[in-house]
Amino acid sequence: PLAPGQVEYQLAHGEARGLIVSGQEQADKVLPRLPALPGLEFLISFDPVDVAGKLPHLTWDALLGRGRQLGAEGLGRVLLREDALGRDSLATLIYTSGTTGPPKGVMLSHGNLLSNAEEVRAIVEVGPDDFSLSWLPFSHIYARTLDHYLAHLAGGLTFLARSRDTVVADLAEARPTMMNAVPRFYEKVWSLVEALPPEERGRRLRGLFGPRLRVLYSGGAPLPRHVCAGFHDAGLPLLEGYGLTESSPTISFNRIERFKIGTVGLAIPGVEVKIADDGEILTRGPHVMLGYWKDPEATRRAIVDGWLHTGDLGRLDEEGFLTITGRKKDLIITSGGNNIAPSELERLLLADPLIDQVVLYGDGKPFVSALIVPNLEGLRAEARALGCALEFDGELIATPALLDFLAARVERRMQAVSKPERVKAFLLLGRPFSVEAEELTPTQKVRRAEILNKFRDRLDALYMEKPPATSWEMREEVSDTHP
């Protein structure tokens, strides 16, 4: 879910004229911000909402009724507009997190979407007898292509989960033949059976997914190798793929008949993949976006001579299997598939006068954590006011009262962003980053990789069942896996 400010940005930047919402909760994100959205002309809602006369409003049922009243003349106008469209026509704008600034609107054409769905269909061999359960949000291209467009092309049936909290119950009802999900879902499922005897794991997993299941697919974030291997050993093929919004999204996929655990598979038909001299993954083909909405300079940087620069690092083996080894960009992708630009969140935290330096962590993890360097002079003043002293565990500050005090400030600042983006745990470092410790460049730029490598063990401990006393953790939100 997006925070109200993010909704406002996308509506304004995308020049939206209309908005469709499910109900009052989503409408309330927009109604107070209408003065900043002069181009918004109407609102459609599935459930009745109170717009307080601020915007022309129709329910979905009322909209359908108006359409029926237009009759043949109205249908003719629609068909004329439809005939004017081609494969190169803009189909959708999907906003993705930027690493160095505001989110970018990715322009995808009808041809982008069709070609990607057509080629994926050939790989996954989906047909009219297939059933899938969809629970990922359609604001992401992964869910649109793998759950929605694919089913339309193949004539298969897609069940929509009632909510992310009812997925297990909905599985029992839908009994799908195939399913797409993010790694965090499979991690949670595997944690339920990992301690069981090997022969029992398969039975439990089959009981969860149902007797018709033939294959599971994972995308949106790196899939832990042990989870993938565990599902395979239990008799449930779990196949990992790779892509990004700018590539509509699929670039590569493992196949049932040809896969390698630990890789993201082979390039799909019609898609070229190569590795640049610096290790960056480049791709070319009909899946590459039209560009970034109202940002020609970013488009020129991203697409060079037809090759999309993904920002990811990888390697191709002799058989063409692609392995992701890292990212040139600093984008954090949690195990729930949430793309999070750390620079924006870090700037938000650094606006607090008690925080001098910060580095975020969380790639492949269930939530975002942070290593924070406080303003030590200010923190000592707060310690005196609280009647406590700075206590240390090695280099980390371990005073409970100070951790709680700073936690409240962090938590308040995190209200400005969506829940998956929020820092939910942190460590407090009792010294500043330095050039001498190889944590800063000579020009005082943070060396993110060096810092994370140095403190990785302490940061990883934040994700344990019982985190260390030197940390603060917002336990009630740790289970949030919504992409």
Cβ-contact 142, 219 below 8 angstroms: yes
Tell me the C-alpha to C-alpha distance, in Å, between residue 473 and each of 121, 337, 410, 448.
43, 21, 11, 22
User: What is the structure's pLDDT at 344?
Assistant: 77
Q: Which CATH architecture group holds 333-477?
A: 2-Layer Sandwich (3.30)
User: What is the structure's pLDDT at 98?
Assistant: 45
Pairing of strands 238-243, 250-253: antiparallel
Stated length of the chain: 483
| CA torsion through residues 188, 191, 196, 201, sign | positive
Count CB atoms within 10 A of the CB of residue 232: 14
What pTM value is reported for the model? 0.76
Cβ-contact 12, 40 below 8 angstroms: no
Angle, alpha carbons 101-224-232 (nearest 5°): 140
Question: How far apart are the C-alpha atoms of 190 and 228, rounded to whole Å?
Answer: 9
Do 94-329 and 333-477 fold alike per CATH?
A: no
Provide long-range contacts, Cβ within 8 A and 24+ apart, for 24-31.
24/49, 24/50, 27/51, 29/2, 29/3, 29/4, 30/4, 31/55
Identify any residues that bridge with 95 across adjacent strands, giving them in sequence order: 105
Task: Classify residue 326 as exposed, middle or buried by CB count within 10 Å of its CB (0-12, 13-18, 19+).
Answer: exposed
Closest by CA to 414, choosing from 348, 366, 342, 354, is 348
User: What is the structure's pLDDT at 186?
Assistant: 93
**Token output for 471:** 């940390």
Angle, alpha carbons 339-345-350 (nearest 5°): 165
User: What is the structure's pLDDT at 465?
Assistant: 63
Q: What is the mean pLDDT of the chain?
A: 90
Cβ-contact 390, 400 below 8 angstroms: no
Ranges under pLDDT 70 in the chain: 1, 97-102, 441-445, 465-483
Provide long-range contacts, Cβ within 8 A and 24+ apart, for 87-94.
87/111, 87/114, 88/290, 90/290, 93/14, 93/293, 94/139, 94/140, 94/141, 94/245
User: What is the structure's pLDDT at 482?
Assistant: 38
Phi and psi torsions of 127, nearest 5° = -140, -175
pLDDT in tens, 329-374: 777 889 988 888 787 788 899 889 899 899 999 999 999 999 999 9
Question: How far apart are the C-alpha atoms of 284 and 214, rounded to whole Å?
Answer: 31
Residue the block writes with tokens 């929509």: 160
3-state helix, strand, coil in the chain (%, to 5): 40, 25, 35
Q: CB within 8 A of 63, min separation 6: which ones?
A: 44
The domains of the chain are located at 4-84, 94-329, 333-477
pLDDT in tens, 276-332: 998 899 999 999 999 999 999 999 999 999 999 999 889 999 999 999 987 777 778
Single-letter residue type at 322: L
Q: What is the CATH number of domain 94-329?
A: 3.40.50.12780
Single-letter residue type at 219: G
